[in-house]
Structure 1
Amino acid sequence: MAKLIHRSPLGALEIGGVLGRPEPGEPFDAPTDIAATLLEQAGLYSPADYKTTPVELLAVYAEARGVEHDGKKAAIIAALVAADAEEAKK
């Protein structure tokens, strides 16, 4: 399981394999295989917390965002935090 957040402008979403209809910004649990698929859509979904997200899912998310990494969790998190900071400047 992984905890994700969606940022859809459409409001609450029904997501296959996920219980309930999470609101935008509301963390929700997703099975790992579904989380991997959702994180490929980095503009709509993100990990709720980088530190608790499995490294395999962080790698999927980083690749979907075009963030380079070496495959190690600490380095992926550092690269994502830096990318977040750059994006916040825009």
Structure 2
Amino acid sequence: MDSFSSPTGSSSKFSTDEFMDNLKTQLAQAYAQQFVETLTGKCFEKCITKPGSSMSGSDSSCVSRCVDRYIEATGIISRALFNAPR
């Protein structure tokens, strides 16, 4: 017996559609968290030369450009993967 069926074989508490919606939501949240962590790590490493209590103007500009480029690159890759002819 699995966690999606009861001992009598009747349907589970959640419908398949509800399960898939929940799964999609969890995957989207995990992807967003991973995206932010990757972005933060890469842009911090590239742009923050002297960590301190505040960012310099050049560090702030660098982070902004880094984030913009990373988001743009991710969009290009996503469009190429999901819109490619099959």
TM-score normalised by the chain length of structure 1 = 0.28
Rg larger in structure: 2
Q: Please identify which structure carries the higher strand content.
A: 1
In the superposition, the TM-score normalised over structure 2's length comes to 0.29
Structure with higher RCO (Cα < 8 A, 6+ apart) = 1
